Amino acid sequence: MKHVPVINAGAGPVGLTLSILLSRFGICNLVVEMRGGVSTVPRARGIMSRTMKIWNHFGIVEELDALSLPPQWCRNVQRSSDSRSRSGHSWHGAGTQACESDDRRSRCGSFEFDLHSNYPYTLAAVVAERLRDRRVLLVGDAVHHVSPFGGIGVNAGIHTAHNLA
């Protein structure tokens, strides 16, 4: 059995960023992931400029830009807790039209679309009591759970991974 000095639990954006950084410094590491594949829905909205600068060193920014949603799809839409429609849910937000949705069909103004998947979350801000226990270091979702809006969690995790490496 080969000795691996670093085991990286999680192949999300933070775990993979940490693995790439460690590898570039010549530190052997093993990435383990419990999920069987890539998420079909975004779990964070918004990548900060420092994160893009880190990823730019990997030479992947152009590829990421090609995979990104077009700007007109990335507007600030919020669920309104005090505004419910007959079909189920209503949304409103700066620079957007009112949107309504039932479980599988959504409408924003005259634009209608099918909802194929979603990622439910509970609005919370939870931070681990400790970030380190002897040789175990925590980053990413192991450390904090926050709202996916603004990409605060993924960006903070990537910045932490960069600082650790």
pLDDT at residue 139, as a whole number: 85
CB under 8 Å to 7, separation ≥6 — which residues? Answer: 29, 30, 32
pLDDT at residue 56, as a whole number: 93
Q: Is residue 42 part of a domain?
A: yes
Q: Are residues 61 and 79 in the same domain?
A: no
What are the start-end ranges of the H helices in 68-124? none
Q: Is residue 22 part of a domain?
A: yes
pLDDT at residue 143, as a whole number: 82
User: Nearest 5°: CA angle at 160, between 156 and 164?
Assistant: 175
Question: CA torsion sign, 151 to 69 to 86 to 90?
Answer: positive
> pTM for this one?
0.68
Q: Is residue 139 part of a domain?
A: no
pLDDT at residue 130, as a whole number: 85
Residue 86 phi, psi dihedral angles, 5° rounding: -65, -30
CB atoms within 10 A of CB 63: 11
Q: Are residues 51 and 34 in the same domain?
A: yes
Give how far Cα 31 sits from Cα of 9, 26, 40, Å: 6, 15, 21
Domain of residue 63: give its range.
Answer: 6-69+148-164
CA dist 47 and 50 (Å) reads 8
Q: Is residue 44 part of a domain?
A: yes
pLDDT of the chain along its 165 residues, tens only?
A: 688 898 888 888 999 999 999 999 999 999 988 888 877 766 777 788 899 999 999 998 888 888 776 665 555 444 444 433 333 444 444 444 556 666 666 666 666 666 666 666 677 778 888 888 887 888 888 888 787 777 888 898 999 999 988
Give how far Cα 113 sits from Cα of 42, 99, 101, 105, 110, Å: 17, 11, 9, 6, 10
pLDDT at residue 164, as a whole number: 87
Give how far Cα 70 sits from Cα of 65, 73, 75, 114, 124, Å: 9, 6, 10, 18, 29
Q: Is residue 120 part of a domain?
A: no
